[in-house]
Structure 1
Amino acid sequence: MRKLIATALCLAATVTATGCGATVEKAAETKSSAVTLTNCGRKVTFDKVPERVVTNDVGITELMFALGLEDRMAGFAMPDDKGDLAGVPWKDGYEKVKWLSKDQLTRENVLDARADLVFAGWNYGFREEGGFTPDALNKLGIPSYVLTESCRNGRTENARGIMPPLQALYTDLTNLGKLFDVERRAAALIAGFRKRIAEVHDRAPKGADRPKVFLYDSGQDQPFTSGRYAAPEQIITEAGGTNLMHDVEDSWTTVGWESVVERDPDVIVICDYGDVSAEQKRKFLLSYGPLRHVSAVKHKRIFVLDYVDLVESPRNPSAVERLGAYLREVADER
């Protein structure tokens, strides 16, 4: 989908990250019994605990790291525009697990890694072009798990998202916990995430004080943004704002500038990644003629979050906390 971290604070709950000095249970030894999970609305049975998982993209990779499952991984693929990986909460995981590709996963590097599970998502690795799909991998004898945020929903040909995005995060953590027999660790992570997000929600602006927020990913002719089923929807909502494109029944998608101008956001959140820097995106937004009367542009209310904050990942709670603090300031100013 998109290429795509910057330094983040270690998560507050000590069980959250092995790279923050936390003490966590050791990943379980291989079980002999099969495990059946519901993934993207389908029952999927795994005959054994995977031992050579490969992942695609940063958020998916860090879900494994957050559960302490780096010993179960054979490698990951992601672009190298990820900032300072040495400063992330899961530094040890990045040092231990092999970086297979600075592009998306392919059948070749999956086979070379002798993978026994591919954990990716639609437009986060899985794609029809080139035949890198769960069905194609299954024919090679390699099971897959699809990131829940990316599940296709059938509303249009490639529309994605079947549940609220934070629920998607908790669903994947629960499923991975069951598959790898680290259910207590997964439950503790989820409980910690819920507590942190609830604390922000309780302090968030209410009613008419809630700022309208537009998520700007990229694009000049047409903006690429977040609909109802991508992580920014609930990051914005729990932080105290209203996602400008809440009515779009997709995850990441393109809209028209006309709809942005008409809906008049109070705040624009920039997704920082790739070859175009956050500062370059900010300069474009502030200088783009059609946006000159938009409240967020007039008042220069532009906030930056990293790509990994804004896709399904264990960094979502931190993003809620940081955006929540900013939206409270905006609400107080208005």
Structure 2
Amino acid sequence: MFRRTPVRASSVGAALLVAGLALTGCSRGEALDQADSAAEPFAEPVTITNCDREATFEAPPQRIITMNHHVTETLVQMGAGDRIIGRAYADRDTETIPEVADEVAAIPALADEYPTWEEIVDLEPDMVVGGMRSAFDEKEGRSRDALEAEGINTFLFSEYCGEGFPDLGMLETDYSQLGSILGLEEDADELTNEIIDGLEEVRATLDAAGISGTPTFFYDSGEDVPMTIGGVGIGQMVGDYAGADNIFTEGEKPYVKTTWEILGERQPEAVVVLDYGATSAADKIAYLKQQPIMSTTPAVREDRFVVIPLDDLFQSSRMVTSAQTIARELYPEAFGQ
């Protein structure tokens, strides 16, 4: 278990922002008007270390830009939605989780993908939060060094710090740190526990039904060279909870390339298809069914496919949704279906 009671850095009486957020697509000027940058200081400065970067916060950030959709959802779930002055990735196929959909939709969308450096600095944020390394792409001028040189704090979800996602302790650390610097420790701790409890409930249901696991191929993309998940990412961990035993646990990356010949040797009994991008999940399944080697595997012969959005394999509450979806599809009898 990864729970712990967070130590409150102080009792923060920060004045929250005005609730009337501008609608998606508003101008930069309107976005600037929606927040009061002043915040009551912490009783004692809060210092964190994120991806080997130390940062000290004198007061809770009040003007936040979120660079990935799961980051936006997470901060809204923690109660910081009224401080988000802009969000990236407005052009997405995956629906927002229902509990925060209205609040996320009310946050100004800055770009279909990532906003430019100019769009970021023009909004005068006091923190930019990314959920993928590409959020702080140096070639695009958005490096953490460059932003911090402008006096803008940054935070990167640790699954992209370079060491994979070994266990839920990484999520707990990230959420605890975000809770501390936002002055929302209890909300962050509650969200952490909801995620942990949700995943453990899925695994407990399978254990009670006497289910161990099914050899599973996680199909990300690729026809000539298939891409799958490796043994160090969130996909691996979700599979463990959901009874989908990843057949490619080797390697030190969350995603790895393999070959159809190796897949033929390992004979997966199920396939989890990651749904994203220009190639639909239906098209990916159709390709697997006619691929000469994959068509001989038990997974394809028995038509045992599970489709989940790629968004559900990021560091967020969506991990619970993905585990539930996979487990229910593979083992409906365990859930009374």
The answer on whether the counterparts of 2:215 and 2:270 sit within 8 Å (CA) in structure 1 is yes
Whole-angstrom distance in 1 between the partners of 2:136 and 2:262: 30
Rate the CA distance shift 1:264–1:208 in 2: closer, same or farther, 3 A.
farther
Q: 1:142: Cα distance to partner?
A: 1.4
Amino acid at match of 1:89: E
Q: Is the 8 A contact 2:110 2:119 kept in 1?
A: yes
AA matched with 2:56 = T
Q: Is the 1:75–1:97 contact (alpha carbons within 8 Å) kept by the matching residues of 2?
A: yes
| Corresponding position: 1:32 with 2:23 | no
1:148 aligned partner, one-letter code = S
Where in structure 2 are the equivalents of 1:182-221 lying within 5 Å?
182-204=184-206, 209-221=212-224
CA distance in 1, matches of 2:61, 2:81: 12
Counterparts of 1:22-101 in structure 2, within 5 Å, are 28-29=14-15, 30-33=39-42, 34-78=45-89, 80-85=91-96, 88-101=98-111
Q: 1:102, CA displacement in angstroms?
A: 0.4
Shift in Å, 1:295: 1.9
- Report 1:138-157 matches (<5 A): 138-153=148-163
Q: Which residue number corresponds to residue 130 of structure 2? A: 120
Does structure 1 conserve the Cα–Cα contact (< 8 Å) formed by 2:117 and 2:140? Answer: no
How much is the aligned-residue C-alpha RMSD, in angstroms?
Answer: 2.5
The answer to whether the 8 A contact 1:177-1:186 is kept is: yes
Alignment partners' CA distance in 1, 2:277 and 2:300: 23
Match for residue 9 of structure 1?
none
Aligned to 2:313: 310
Residue 7 of structure 2 is matched in structure 1 by: none
> Bigger CA drift: 186-195 or 246-255?
246-255
Mean Cα deviation higher: 73-82 or 201-210: 201-210
Instruction: For residues 2-36 of structure 1, give each alpha carbon's deviation from its aligned partner in whole angstroms, at most 9, with x where no partner exists.
Output: xxxxxxxxxxxxxxxxxxxxxxxx99443413211
Gap runs ≥5 in structure 2: 1-11, 16-38
In the alignment, the residues of structure 2 paired with residue 288 and residue 330 of structure 1 have an alpha-carbon distance, to the nearest angstrom, of 30
Deviation at 1:164, TM superposition (A): 1.9
Closer, same or farther in 2 for the Cα pair 1:113/1:255, shift >3 Å?
farther
Query: What is the distance in 2 between the residues matched to 1:28 and 1:253?
Result: 45
Deviation at 1:236, TM superposition (A): 0.7
Q: Give the structure 1 partner of residue 121 of structure 2.
A: 111
1:63-117 CA distances to partner (integer Å, 9 max, x unpaired)?
A: 11111211111111115132444x7321122222111010123212211222211
Cα distance in 2 between the residues matched to 1:318 and 1:27: 34
Q: What is the CA deviation profile of residues 123-151 of structure 1, one whole-angstrom value per residue up to 9, with x for unaligned ones? A: 44122322321112112221110111111
3-state SS of 1:319 partner: helix
CA distance in 2, matches of 1:238, 1:62: 23
Return the alpha-carbon distance in structure 1 between the equivalents of residues 149 and 256 of structure 2: 31
Of residues 267, 286, 291 in structure 2, which corresponds to 1:288? 291
Residues in 1 aligned to 2:13 and 2:84: alpha-carbon distance in whole angstroms = 12
Cα distance change on mapping 1:46 and 1:202 into 2, 3 Å:
same
Between stretches 253-262 and 131-140, larger displacement belongs to: 253-262
Classify 1:209/1:316 alpha carbon distance in 2 versus 1 (closer, same or farther; 3 Å).
Answer: closer
Distance in 1 (CA, whole Å) between partners of 2:297 and 2:136 is: 37
Deviations 1:28-68 (A, max 9, x none): 44341321112124432223211111111211111111112
What is the rounded CA distance, in whole Å, between the counterparts of 1:258 and 1:296 in structure 2?
A: 15
Selected match of 1:298 from 298, 301, 306? 301
The verdict on how the C-alpha distance between 1:253 and 1:93 changes in structure 2, with shifts beyond 3 A counting, is farther
Deviation by residue 1:207-238 (Cα, 9 ceiling, x = unmatched): 99410122112221222222223221111101
Output the CA distance in 2 between the equivalents of 1:141 and 1:151: 21
Measure how far apart 1:165 and its partner are. 5.0
- Contact 2:51 / 2:156 at 8 angstroms: preserved in 1? yes
The TM-score with structure 1 as length reference comes to 0.81
Contact 1:267 1:302 (C-alpha < 8 Å) held by counterparts? yes
Structure with max Cα Rg: 2
How far has the Cα of 1:248 moved from its partner? 2.1
Unmatched 5+ stretches in structure 1: 1-25, 154-160
The secondary structure found in structure 2 opposite 1:102 is coil
Q: Percent identity?
A: 30
Matches within 5 A, 1:248-263: 248-263=251-266
Tell me, yes or no, if the aligned pair for 1:170 and 1:190 is still in contact at 8 Å: yes
